[in-house]
Amino acid sequence: MHSVKQPGLLPAISPATGKKLADIKETPLHQVSESYSRARRASSKWSDISITARLTYLKKLKSVMVDEMDSIARTISDDTGKPLTEAIVADIMPTLDSIDHIIKHSEKDLRRQKISTPVLLFGKKSFIEYMPRGVVLVISPWNYPFQLAMVPIISALAAGNSVILKPSEVTPLVGKCIEELFAQAEFPQNTVQVAHGGKEVGAAFTKGKPDYIFFTGSVRTGKIIQEQAARDLIPTTLELGGKDPMIVFADANLERAAKGAVWGAFTNSGQVCMSAERLYVERSVYPEFLQRLKEEVGILRQGTGEEADIGSMTFPAQREIVRGQLEEAIQNGAVLETGTSPAEWGDDMFLPLTIVTNVTQDMKIIQEETFGPLLPVVPFDSEDEAVSMANGTVFGLNASVWSRDMEKARRVASQLVSGAVVINDVIISVANHGLPFGGAKESGIGRYHGSGGLRMFCHEKAIVEDTGKNAAEIQWYPYRGKYPLFLQLFQSYFKEKRDWPKFVKSYLALLKRSK
């Protein structure tokens, strides 16, 4: 299905049809150092302009995106095989919404903040300043190739950095589209550069010593990048994989929970870092819930275009991971409730939506990220058991808890080791740009979105100001005769009930000795 790659060119292949859509020129490895030089020159100019001026460019970008929305959606859909509706709802909308959020909040979030100063630092004022880091390298994956590149890029830009994007080689058309959008929005030259290519290009740019690396992708690559970053002491954010549990209690709205499970597991053909990958259902409603799941799956349409619910898989290698997990589960006694065994799959990239039961906690289908349309369903008998099974993997990105008893749902949510938990819905926490986004355990390091997602692209600088009027400070030399006075000062200050008269007396005595 996939044509041979020509040297220097990245073929963009439609996973839905197998047809070649275009060839994108790869960035040669010898250009890494020149790209960084250009990015550094651009970053010094870009960081010099006010946030208000930077936001003018983001507003222009937003308006270009609104005008070009249909064509961007079609590019995303062609390049990934996902339905058009998913391209517009889950790739384009969150990007536009994050631009709005940044336009609304960044001036406040990035301005100098006054911080209270302790009495012991009498006469001084304290501030935090946010200084752009310089050049940010963004490395992005293929599953939401637009949103997961654009949101870090625009956050880093708003914070005053220039950006080099290394988009996924699996979806090179989207990388090209992003490059063109910034050109159309007339960003200053080299403020955003796109390095097209595969993992060699990603590795070369990682070694090129950016000032910050923002990586979204697999745990495996995240660890490689973190090793290189550690060698060069470069700060990173790693947004990695997930194996998100969904816990359904017997008292949940079961109709809603079944629809939510099917969408949560199968949207984007399950190629979502936060898709519901393990479904735990309270035993008393387990048979009924399974029946509901099968009915919901039965009404979905696979295909392309505006009417499709489920698209194709995007990356051929991912299909093999799904196959491997399913085969292992079947060999060990798992039962297919929907779908077919891999031996019956066709050659194309449309995989059947597969619900599997009779699985055990030690199977790959429960322990490893699937990133495909597979949903194992497991019964549980108690709240504790559900929490323990949900926490029983190396991942912790997102989770969901379903119950009408909000107290119980909140109690369970608090016990899950997870970057986010959604109650009576799935995935959606990512859509509130005001909430932090990121993973626990092997699902990642760091958080973005919200104020933290802008400030992380800055050096947080502590500033203390003194008027400079006094000749010296009390803790400066000479120390002669000061020890008993400091003893009095600190004892009067730190005791349960402060002794202000003693404090003032010892402070004035120290001042006198410091003239």
Q: Which residues are catalytic?
A: 239, 273
Helices 500-513 + 483-494 axis angle, to 10: 150
Contact between 441 and ligand NAD per CB under 6 A: no
Cα radius of gyration rounded to whole Å, the chain: 27
Give the binding range for ligand NAD (CB under 6 A) out of 23-31, 81-89, 217-225, 459-467: 217-225
Among 11, 198, 235, 324, binds ligand NAD (CB under 6 A): 198
Give the binding range for ligand NAD (CB under 6 A) out of 7-15, 214-222, 252-260, 330-338: 214-222
Backbone angles phi, psi at 437, to 5 degrees: -125, 130
Closer residue to ligand NAD, CB minimum distance, 202 or 311: 202
CA–CA dist 198, 10 (Å, integer): 8
CB atoms within 10 A of CB 514: 16
Give the binding range for ligand NAD (CB under 6 A) out of 150-158, 163-171, 329-337, 473-481: 163-171
Give me 293's structure tokens.
């799941």
Kind plus residue range of the DSSP H or E element containing 124: strand 124-132
CA 330 to each of CA 19, 313, 335, 360: distance values in angstroms, whole numbers, following the listed order: 33, 21, 7, 11
**Interacting residues of 104 by C-beta distance below 8 A, sequence separation 6+:** none
* Minimum distance from residue 202 beta carbon to ligand NAD (Å): 2
Contact between 172 and ligand NAD per CB under 6 A: no
Contact between 488 and ligand NAD per CB under 6 A: no
Contact between 314 and ligand NAD per CB under 6 A: no
Backbone angles phi, psi at 359, to 5 degrees: -105, 160
* Minimum distance from residue 27 beta carbon to ligand NAD (Å): 12
Contact between 217 and ligand NAD per CB under 6 A: yes
Contact between 444 and ligand NAD per CB under 6 A: yes
**Amino acid identity at 217:** G
Contact between 372 and ligand NAD per CB under 6 A: no
Closer residue to ligand NAD, CB minimum distance, 144 or 187: 144
Among 371, 380, 457, 507, binds ligand NAD (CB under 6 A): 371
Closer residue to ligand NAD, CB minimum distance, 203 or 258: 203
Give the binding range for ligand NAD (CB under 6 A) out of 39-47, 51-59, 164-172, 326-334: 164-172
**Amino acid identity at 397:** L
Give the binding range for ligand NAD (CB under 6 A) out of 107-115, 139-147, 450-458, 466-474: 139-147
Contact between 447 and ligand NAD per CB under 6 A: no
Among 132, 210, 242, 270, binds ligand NAD (CB under 6 A): 242
CA–CA dist 1, 346 (Å, integer): 13
CA–CA dist 310, 424 (Å, integer): 23
Contact between 239 and ligand NAD per CB under 6 A: yes
Among 168, 226, 354, 403, binds ligand NAD (CB under 6 A): 168
- Tell me whether the omega of the peptide bond preceding residue 478 falls within 30 degrees of 0, making it cis: yes
Beta strand 192-194 pairing with 212-216: unpaired
Contact between 166 and ligand NAD per CB under 6 A: yes
Helices 286-298 + 254-266 axis angle, to 10: 50
Contact between 439 and ligand NAD per CB under 6 A: yes
Query: Which of 375, 402, 379 shows the shortest CA–CA distance to 248?
Result: 402
CA–CA dist 72, 92 (Å, integer): 8
Collapse the DSSP code of 272 into the 3-class scheme (helix H, G, I; strand E, B; otherwise coil) and give the result.
coil
* Minimum distance from residue 322 beta carbon to ligand NAD (Å): 13
Which residues sit at the interface with ligand NAD, rule CB under 6 A? 139-143, 148, 166, 168-169, 198-199, 202-203, 206, 216-218, 221, 224-225, 239-242, 273, 369, 371, 397, 439, 444
